[in-house]
Structure 1
Amino acid sequence: MPKNSRWTRARAWGIPLIALGAGAGLGVGAMALWGPAGDTGPEAFAQGEGAMGGGEAQTVTVGLQTLEESVTTTGTLAAVATSGLAFEASGTVTDVYVEAGDTVAEGDVIAQIDTLQLTSSLRSVEAELAQAEATLANLEDADDGSDSSEAQIAAAEARVAVLEESVADAEEAMDDAVLVADIAGLVTSQPYEVGDVVSGGSSSTGGDQSAMGGGATTTTSSTGVTIVGEDEWTVAVSLTESEVAQIAEGDQVTFTSEDYDGEFFGVVSEISNLPSTTGGTATYAVELLVTGTVEGLYEGTSVEASIVYLRRTDVLAIPTNAITTTDGVSTVTVVDGSGEGAEREVTTGETIGSYTEITDGLTEGEQLEVTVMTSEGSTSEDGQMDMQFPGGGEFPGGGEMPSGGGQMPGGGMPGN
């Protein structure tokens, strides 16, 4: 079941390490705040030392922020490209070059079978074709224009055509004696061993093939070689009707996993128009596509996906609980250089998560007094606040967006 609210990972640079006790809830969304590039640490936002308990007045710096809202859900990675291979010819496996767990390129030979019988069949049908072609040539040379001569030539031509198809089939059987990777990727299953007897798309593995008997176990082609592509990945998730209403195809996605160090990114590639109902609750299938080349991903890995449906950049925003509203008038406490506070009226804009946009009344760099609810936080040995954000999870201190593979797609977010 998807989570309905989440604070997504924030950039390491300039982020206020403050647990906000008040502020608007996110509903089905979540909010992440990325601080301005000029801020270098929590000192720009949280000042003052000492053990804290209950509510305590702190100061924060007014700055331009990037605010996001997102829907968070979970799913598992699935490769876009997979391939199942099995021998189509009959024979005994003579060579195996690849085992399960190996990585192959398209065209790599995985295994091959004994071609002695296949070669004999090919040579035999080639000889028949050569004889038929010689017969046809003789008939054409002796053609006297009679009906009998024409009939003989037509029969010889038909014989040649049939044998040409037989030669093509025999050559294809020779090709089928070599199992070749048709895609690049990770080999997750490879059951063949030298000495196994295969027959027409199935394999006989194990068992004693000596005169003392002991039948081999026949396995179907579905248990043959499986290759999973590692270049493209998708994640299938289910969202509620209210969550689907927030997102759109092309929305950016941030992925995290306990089995992967860091973040990787993607987009919403498909949203089902028809819901499925389980236990009276309607959900919609949504497909997420991982973008870029991301090393270290594996089929079946559980991931958490944060679908960003709203992003506001360069917004002058402050913690909502720094604002006091009485009779429709909003005010904040501005702290001057000497540490004295003075009340000032401000004009507010949109509230996203626990932050509110300020459209008038404040300028970047000013200091505000904020009452911080510290019941879930503590002060570290170096005097900085070690806070937790709502929900109990620690506020992330890292997680810069990588500059390499799996980059967040460019461009602004589509409107919803």
Structure 2
Amino acid sequence: MIVCLLAVAGCQEEETPPAPRPVVSEVLTLTPTNARSWVGTVQSRSEADLAFQVLGRVAERPVDVGDVVEEGDVVARLDTASLVAAERSAEAALGQAEARQRTARDALTRTRALFERKVASEANLEAAVQALAVARSEVDRARSALVQAADRRDNATLRASTHAVVTKTYVSPGATVSAGERVLRIARTDDLEAVIDLPEPAIATINKNAAFVVGLAAAPRVTADGRLAYIEPVAEAATRTRRVHITLDSPPPSFRLGSLVSASLKTGKDAVLSLPISAVFERDGQTTVWRVVRPENRVEAVTVELGQEFAERVRLTSGLSQGNEVVTRGVHSLQDGTIVGKRIGD
């Protein structure tokens, strides 16, 4: 009898289903965004470094930082003494080459006449033809050298390429610069942006094409509307922040290059949701997550829409709400209706 009872008890133990496996999940919470603002500066979206195309000594630089220049304005000049001398030498060389060409042409005319009278040989005629060809090539080379010398002289004058303001100078009069070495930087004032540096958590609050209100730090009531242009993909190594560029829409004249500004999101929402990237997977071409249904302890697939990624997380724009529990690990081992155990934090 005892043996039978033990056998029955053993069968009952074997028939007991195993407990559901715990699930690694996260309960979604809201991240406040209201009253958040970030300090930045006004910069130009169009900047250019200007440089001479020839080697030389800077004779003058009539502009300085903050000066406004128009297209074609002279911003720097090189000492042109050696360049002018080189151009005159090239002119003289061209004159000599042209004189030799005239002499060779006259010689060919005489030789051809003598050849027709059977006085000069065919070899004499061929030599005269070749001499003229050489003279012509010398003229071409001399003319090309003169053009290059004139270009070098012209390139000794550096001009502004557009209406802009000088934002930085690299060399002063008297310095010797190489071809391509930066002399100064100019920035257009009709294409402005606000630039702010944000930590990764703050990046989560910014959607694509997010709208901003940008105000002057010195005069907060002076504002301009802005829209997200782009977020630099690489974080700054020392601060672990990423640079955010905001295009300004018709900023007032008081928005000057370098002005300190404060940028705030125009979200119309008090908070945003985010979830780990590891919770997201593709299903039938849809971006999906597993939501845990309690107390049934089962999972169901939910299609979601996502926003900006940040620090291994991604902003959630639709599909879930605050308090929803989502699976964050092992998402590819689950199916609709899978029974799961208690929640384990990630």
TM-score for both structures, normalised by structure 1: 0.45
In the alignment, what sits opposite 2:225?
265
Distance between the aligned counterparts of 2:207 and 2:130, measured in 1? 70
C-alpha distance after superposition, 1:301-351 (max 9, x if no partner) = 3322123244xxxxxxxxxxxxxxxxxxxxxxxxxxxxxxxxxxxxxxxxx
Contact 1:230 1:297 survives alignment (8 Å): no
Cα gap change, 1:301 to 1:153, in 2 (>3 Å): same
- SS of 2:190's equivalent in the other structure is coil
Cα gap change, 1:106 to 1:275, in 2 (>3 Å): closer
In the alignment, what sits opposite 1:359?
none
* 1:74 to partner: Cα distance: 2.9
Structure 2 counterparts to residues 16-31 of structure 1, below 5 A: 27-30=31-34
The structure with the greater share of residues assigned to helix is 2
1:127 and 2:92 correspond? yes
Contact 1:81 1:229 survives alignment (8 Å): yes
* 1:89 to partner: Cα distance: 4.9
2:138 maps to amino acid: R
Distance between the aligned counterparts of 1:241 and 1:260, measured in 2? 29
Q: Gaps spanning 5+ residues in structure 1: where?
A: 1-24, 32-70, 203-219, 311-351, 355-414
* 1:105 to partner: Cα distance: 1.1
C-alpha distance after superposition, 1:332-380 (max 9, x if no partner) = xxxxxxxxxxxxxxxxxxxx549xxxxxxxxxxxxxxxxxxxxxxxxxx
Distance between the aligned counterparts of 2:203 and 2:71, measured in 1? 38
In the alignment, what sits opposite 1:110?
75
In the alignment, what sits opposite 1:231?
190
Structure 2 counterparts to residues 104-183 of structure 1, below 5 A: 104-140=69-105, 142=108, 147-183=126-162
1:80 and 2:48 correspond? no
C-alpha distance after superposition, 1:116-167 (max 9, x if no partner) = 4432321221121133234335535627595434433443333233222321
RMSD of aligned Cα (Å): 3.9
Contact 1:126 1:167 survives alignment (8 Å): yes
Contact 1:119 1:174 survives alignment (8 Å): yes
* 1:106 to partner: Cα distance: 1.7
- SS of 1:98's equivalent in the other structure is coil
* 1:246 to partner: Cα distance: 4.5
1:126 maps to amino acid: E
- SS of 1:30's equivalent in the other structure is coil
* 1:250 to partner: Cα distance: 2.7
Structure 2 counterparts to residues 188-203 of structure 1, below 5 A: 188-189=167-168, 196-201=173-178
2:34 maps to amino acid: A
* 1:289 to partner: Cα distance: 1.6
Give the total of aligned pairs.
Answer: 229
Cα gap change, 1:260 to 1:26, in 2 (>3 Å): farther
Cα gap change, 1:200 to 1:302, in 2 (>3 Å): closer
Structure 2 counterparts to residues 248-263 of structure 1, below 5 A: 248-260=207-219, 262-263=222-223
TM-score for both structures, normalised by structure 2: 0.53
1:308 maps to amino acid: K
In the alignment, what sits opposite 1:305?
263
- SS of 2:96's equivalent in the other structure is helix
Structure number with greater Rg is 2
1:288 and 2:246 correspond? yes
Distance between the aligned counterparts of 2:82 and 2:167, measured in 1? 31
